[in-house]
Amino acid sequence: MTKVINKVVEDLTSEFTEVRKLTDDLFKTLSIEDAVIQSDPFGSPPNWHIAHVTWFFHKILLKYGEKLNLENINLDYLNSYYQKFEKILPKNDRGKFPRPTVSESLQYRKYLDKKVLLFLEKIEVSDSLTKEIQYDLRLANQHEMQHQELMVYDFQNYFERFSDSNDTYHPFKINDDIEKKIQNKRHSKEMVKIPGGIFEMGFCGDSFSYDNELPDHKVYLYPYEIDSTPVSNGDFLNFIEEGGYEKYEYWLSDGWDIVQEFNWNSPLYWFKKDDVWMKKDFFGISAINPDQPVINVSYYEADAYARWAKKRLPTEAEWEKAASWNEDLKRKTIYPWGNETLPTHEHANLLESFLWRPSFCGSYEEGKSFYGCYQMIGDVWEWTSSEYTLYPGFKSRFSEYTDKWAINQKVLRGGSFATPRRQIRNSYRNYFKPHERIQFSGFRCAK
């Protein structure tokens, strides 16, 4: 038993150290001025992100009786939405209260890093690791991974406002060599057929999962077809050029109201210059690449495109089967390509690929599913037609984390180029409101 506990503690320590370093790396290229601005009511100041995820570890240490001395740092503004901890700062006010200061946030992180590592050492020495402690610490790591991705959304949203192409977020690392390799290995787009029948949906492994991925349960699916690749910018440009944003018949009523009210005529961040659609991203301003997946579109835009194309969006069960079911093995896999512990650069474009944008549609031969679907992990989150509800028999493992949001949201699957590799798997359920598009969301169609 001692050897098992030691291995678990070792893995927790390694993951914690890796996650915290990556957050610091993402943050360190920002100026103080850029670190304290809230670019959008949807987002948060980067400084708030790095302090809030530390506060989450702080609360877990307090839960297990650890003594902390933090009286000199103002932590009153770091509770995101947990009623049980009281004193919540409304989300759209986070930029109005830059406390703790940047220097205090960095000090806070260093202090908690030491305390968490000491807590893990104490558990290892005393053989006192419980399943609850293990889950809470993994959840805290996963929570920080989620905020790493949210920070990248906020970087894109914040720097997009500046007209200077060079005035943008400068990543601490870019892997140009990976992008050059994968561009030479691309699959042409087609629809693949998926057989119907009973499918067991949900997480089925021994590693970490969120409680909203459980329990696994049976659903019945009719035979269907699904795109082998995400919808591309070129595909979406055809929709725009054929009046997609001008014809109400393609749109759900709420979506059409938004199109009219806010004059939507393209995905978020697109603009026209000399009749060419352009966009500013982490590489500056450039023309829209027709071969990349369309990104930063709302559920309404994805649904309207599908109607225009005489298709539909897949349900999350259809998406999960296309990603996870292996007909030869007669079982599901954790990733489209199998059960490897973590995705690699050969499998998917995730945060640790450090490409900072989607790869071309049809990339990653090694990452395709049994049925021949490409890029179901990484590149862009994919909207499904499913409402975010909790599975039958759901039991919360950390209240107010996934349970309280199960209303008026749509499920997305698969991760994006900003999703950490330890975070994503076939059963992972993301969820956003149908009008939101600051997240790196795209889609593929079904019929």
DSSP string, 221-276: E--EEEESSPPBHHHHHHHHHTTTTT-GGGS-HHHHHHHHHHT--SSTTEEEETTE
CA dihedral (428, 6, 69, 72) positive or negative: negative
For the segment 224-229, the average pLDDT, to the nearest whole number, is 98
Q: Output 18 or 4, whichever has higher pLDDT.
A: 18
Taking phi over 0 as left and psi of -120 to 50 as alpha, with beta for the rest, 274 belongs to left
For range 411-439, the mean pLDDT: 98
Q: Is residue 179's pLDDT more than 80? A: no
Percentage with pLDDT > 90 across the chain: 92
Confidence of residue 204 (pLDDT cuts 50, 70, 90): confident
Average per-residue pLDDT for the chain: 96
d(CA 124, CA 7): 9
pLDDT of residue 184: 61
In the predicted model, is pLDDT for residue 183 greater than 70?
Answer: no
The two tokens of residue 324 are 């996870």
DSSP state of 57: H
Of 45-59, 173-187, 319-333, 351-365, the least confident: 173-187
Q: What is the mean pLDDT of residues 195-201?
A: 98
Percent of the chain's residues with pLDDT above 70: 98
Confidence label for 4 from pLDDT (cuts 50, 70 and 90): confident
Mean pLDDT, residues 316-337: 97
Instruction: Say which residue the tokens 């402690």 belong to.
Output: 133
Q: What confidence tier does 66 reach under pLDDT thresholds 50, 70, 90? A: very high
Would you state the pLDDT for residue 425? Answer: 97
278, 270 Cβ separation under 8 angstroms: yes
Identify the structural domains of the chain with CATH numbers, from first to last: 2-159 (1.20.120), 176-232+304-442 (3.90.1580.10)
Res. 354: pLDDT tops 70: yes
Task: pLDDT band for 1, please (50, 70, 90 cuts).
Answer: low
Helix, strand, or coil here: 432? strand
Q: What would the mean pLDDT of 393-409 be, rounded to a whole number?
A: 97
* Amino acid at residue number 414: G
Give the pLDDT confidence of 236-284 residue by residue, as tens digits: 999 999 999 999 999 999 999 999 999 999 999 999 999 999 999 999 9
Point out the least confidently predicted range of 81-90, 154-163, 224-233. Answer: 81-90
Whether the CB-CB separation of 287 and 278 falls below 8 Å is answered with: yes
The sign of the dihedral angle between the CA atoms of 336, 342, 343, 344 is negative
Distance (Å, whole) CA 357 – CA 347:
16
Residue 258 CB neighbour total at 10 angstroms: 17
- Does residue 177 carry a pLDDT above 90? no
What is the structure's pLDDT at 341? Answer: 73
Q: How many residues does the chain have?
A: 447
DSSP 366-390: GG--TT----SSSSSEEEEEEE--P
Confidence category of residue 40, pLDDT binned at 50, 70, 90:
very high
